[in-house]
């Protein structure tokens, strides 16, 4: 199990998820698996599904416009033309290098691995740098990506810091991309209302639907940008960028302020509970958001192995073998299984 888990740690170091890989590598662990490797709300929003008739036809343009209008209002964006619905933010961030065509790219890291990967795959010189280096990296024709709150450590740059970065980049013909995949957790830190306005014409914001609403499989996301960039992206995506099920889910969820308010409070309490479990197990909390916690332990890889032996998948990191990220368990049974697994010293 130890050597196998070491191999598996490398398989899971780029993204959370991939539970099918865990099942194939370790078929004899307790079932069902508990997947804590992602930062997805385990208590999904009860979204309506499209009817059989709706699934039988192509989505209407008016339905897409309505979704973008409702989502824009939820993000604090006053012009729906600046909000573009996409089949998830992963889809969008991989199109941006081809749309923006900057000479180089800078990514604030360590962070979500797909950002640097997307720019490098597009053949663009890409550097992952610490936050302290960002202000000196606003070179001519450069894109800069900041995940805010950051994944996995939850670091937040305030609106003033992001505005200053944008201004430096814009003066040099660059663009600032702010990935607010977890922005629904802390709306006060969002810069979506600024993106694409006269104040921040070269700022682009990405918003994810699946994480906060616990519906990652629906594949829905948004890009907020200037009308010019938004129109270019719409032309790339074509007439039917999202499914009718995504339309129904997004229209209902983004209009449900009561659910969002209650969920933020519930997630905050759950993350505090998770902190207590991890600290009691000898780990140190070094960051995160209310959807995931980042913990440090000298024996983190052994902990990863121990958790796998209990049918629990956490998230290891290739750049720091002392770190593990934990999502939230779903219900009482999963909380008990995690607590029991953490009590066993590897």
The beta strand positions in 225-268, using DSSP E, are none
Q: Indicate whether 7 pLDDT > 60.
A: no
Q: Is position 337 within any domain?
A: yes
Rounded CA separation 193/206 (Å): 12
Which residue in 308, 333, 306 sits closest to 21, CA to CA? 308
Q: Is the CA virtual torsion 293, 294, 300, 302 positive or negative? A: positive
Joined tokens for residue 148: 């805010």
Q: Indicate whether 344 pLDDT > 80.
A: no
CATH number at residue 86: 3.40.640.10
- The DSSP 8-state label assigned to residue 163 in this structure reads H
Domain boundary among 223, 239, 255: 255
Higher pLDDT, 279 or 346: 279
Give percent of the chain above pLDDT 70. 95
Q: Is position 58 within any domain?
A: no
Domain boundary among 238, 255, 272: 255
What pLDDT was estimated at residue 17? Answer: 66
Same domain, yes or no: 210 and 266: no
Higher pLDDT, 13 or 158: 158
> Looking at the 3D structure of the chain, how many domains does it have?
2
Q: Is position 51 within any domain?
A: no
Q: Is position 57 within any domain?
A: no
Q: Is position 55 within any domain?
A: no
- With beta carbons less than 8 A apart as the criterion, state whether 220 and 210 touch: yes
Same domain, yes or no: 143 and 89: yes
Same domain, yes or no: 97 and 17: no
Rounded CA separation 96/220 (Å): 16
Q: Is position 166 within any domain?
A: yes
Same domain, yes or no: 191 and 175: yes
DSSP one-letter string for 71-94: HHHHHT-S-GGGEEEES-HHHHHH
Same domain, yes or no: 24 and 80: no
Mean predicted confidence (pLDDT) in 18-42: 89
Which residue in 58, 82, 19, 6 sits closest to 312, CA to CA? 19
Rounded CA separation 258/42 (Å): 18
Which residue in 92, 285, 82, 49 sits closest to 181, CA to CA? 92
Rounded CA separation 278/295 (Å): 7
For 200-226, write each residue's pLDDT tens digit. Answer: 999 999 999 999 999 999 999 999 999
Q: Is position 165 within any domain?
A: yes
Same domain, yes or no: 140 and 182: yes
CATH number at residue 324: 3.90.1150.10
Q: Indicate whether 5 pLDDT > 70.
A: no
Same domain, yes or no: 250 and 278: no
Joined tokens for residue 215: 């519906």
Q: Is position 52 within any domain?
A: no
Domain boundary among 224, 255, 286: 255
Is residue 39 packed enough to be buried (19+ CB in 10 Å), middle (13-18) or exposed (0-12)? Answer: buried
Structural domain span for residue 268:
2-43+259-343
Same domain, yes or no: 204 and 320: no
Is residue 164 packed enough to be buried (19+ CB in 10 Å), middle (13-18) or exposed (0-12)? Answer: middle
């Amino acid at each position: 199990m130890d050597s196998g888990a070491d191999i598996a740690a490398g398989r899971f170091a780029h993204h959370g998820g991939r539970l099918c890989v865990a099942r194939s590598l370790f078929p004899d662990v307790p079932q069902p698996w508990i997947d804590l490797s992602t930062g997805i709300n385990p208590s999904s929003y009860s979204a309506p599904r499209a009817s059989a008739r709706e699934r039988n036809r192509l989505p209407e343009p008016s339905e897409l416009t309505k979704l973008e209008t409702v989502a824009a209002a939820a993000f604090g964006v006053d012009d729906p033309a600046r909000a573009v619905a996409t089949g998830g933010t992963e889809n969008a961030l991989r199109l941006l290098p081809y749309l923006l065509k900057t000479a180089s790219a800078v990514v604030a890291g360590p962070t979500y691995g797909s950002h640097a990967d997307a720019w490098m795959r597009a053949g663009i010189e890409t550097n992952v740098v610490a936050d302290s280096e960002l202000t000196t990296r606003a070179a001519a024709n450069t894109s800069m990506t900041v995940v805010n709150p950051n994944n996995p450590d939850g670091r937040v740059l305030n609106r003033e810091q992001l505005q200053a970065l944008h201004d430096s980049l814009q003066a040099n013909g660059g663009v600032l991309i702010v990935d607010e995949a977890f922005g629904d957790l802390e709306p006060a830190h969002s810069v979506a209302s600024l993106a694409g306005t006269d104040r921040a014409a070269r700022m682009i914001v990405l918003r994810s639907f699946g994480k906060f609403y616990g519906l990652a499989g629906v594949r829905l996301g948004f890009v907020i940008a200037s009308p010019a960039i938004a129109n270019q992206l719409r032309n790339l995506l074509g007439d039917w960028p999202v499914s009718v099920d995504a339309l129904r889910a997004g229209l209902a969820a983004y209009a449900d302020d009561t659910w969002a308010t209650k969920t933020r409070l519930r997630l905050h309490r759950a993350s505090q509970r998770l902190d207590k479990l991890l600290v009691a197990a000898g780990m140190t909390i070094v960051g995160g958001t209310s959807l995931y916690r980042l913990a440090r332990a000298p024996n983190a890889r052994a902990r990863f192995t121990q958790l796998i032996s209990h049918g629990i998948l956490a998230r290891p990191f290739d750049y720091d073998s002392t770190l593990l990220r934990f999502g939230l368990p779903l219900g009482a049974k999963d909380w008990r299984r995690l607590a029991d697994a953490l009590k066993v010293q590897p």
